Amino acid sequence: MLFCIGFCSALDGHHRSEDRALFLALRAEHPELDGMIDELMQDHSMLSHLLGSLREAAERREDPATIGRHLDAIGAIMESHFRFEEREILEPLRTLTLEREVAEVLGPL
């Protein structure tokens, strides 16, 4: 359960940092990516909800099958999310100018 809570907190913190800092910088340099960034932020919102549900299930000590279903849902969204990021924003990220510390932009990973 401790690992699950730590993972959920770190991943959610990472997404919040991306939303607050990284995506703002990316929008400023690449306004043409607004729609894609909106989709990524929507994924983050959905993942936050799923991670919260997983954490609650772990705290209730749900059975392994239930925990597995939570993990499967998170895994499916994460895989789609990563592929979308790699396909659509990887190149602009490589040239992005950031005026902030990495931890502020990428969160507590």
Contact between residue 21 and residue 102 where contact means Cβ atoms under 8 Å apart: no
Structural domain span for residue 81: 2-106
Q: What is the pLDDT of residues 14-35, one digit of tens each?
A: 999 999 999 999 999 999 999 9
User: Is 13's pLDDT higher than 80?
Assistant: yes
Contacts of 26 (CB under 8 A, 6+ apart): 33, 37, 89, 92, 93, 96
d(CA 74, CA 54): 9
Look up the pTM and report it: 0.87
How big is the CA angle at 60 (ends 57 and 66), to the nearest 5 degrees? Answer: 40
Pick the more confident residue, 60 or 107. 60
Number of domains in the chain: 1
